Amino acid sequence: MDKEFFHGIFKKLLWLRIPMAFVTAIFVVVMGVFFKYLEIDFNNNAVKSLATITAYNDYGYPILSYNVGEKEYIVSSRSQISNSQVGQNIEIKYHKNNPTYIETGENALFKISLWMIILGALGALFIALVFFKR
């Protein structure tokens, strides 16, 4: 294969850069909407409870034990808890329809979801304007 063959393929695929950037911007918007939906759903269905740190997994995240009704749940936290020790009680929120879905603090994806929507929409708008201006 010679250099001209790859250059020809590259030139043929070069027109895809703007549509792919547009698809990426739309994907960012969709993910932002999804994370915002998860945040709203979790906040509307969150139940506060106390959990006990029973151990730590290999990544340093605490393994929590808590009761919902008569059933005990043992779940690994998705975030580290600073200055925590085994046996310590911490406040958690769990989803009332899925008690294994817990939050021990602020979820970073919930914080940036609105920015994902705004920046993705602005990016898609900018790309569409550039693409259709040609």
Q: 27 or 130: which carries more pLDDT confidence?
A: 27
Decide the pairing of beta strands 62-68 and 46-56: antiparallel
On the question of pLDDT at 121 being above 90, the answer is yes
Global pTM value:
0.75
Six token digits for residue 127:
């790309």
Mean pLDDT of the chain: 88
Domains of the chain (ranges plus CATH)? 26-133 (2.40.50)
130: left (phi over 0), alpha (psi -120 to 50) or beta: alpha
Please write the tens of the pLDDT for every residue from 1-13.
677 877 778 777 7
Strand order in the sheet with 71-76: 71-76, 62-68, 46-56, 89-95, 98-103
CB burial class (10 A; 0-12, 13-18, 19+) of residue 26? Answer: middle
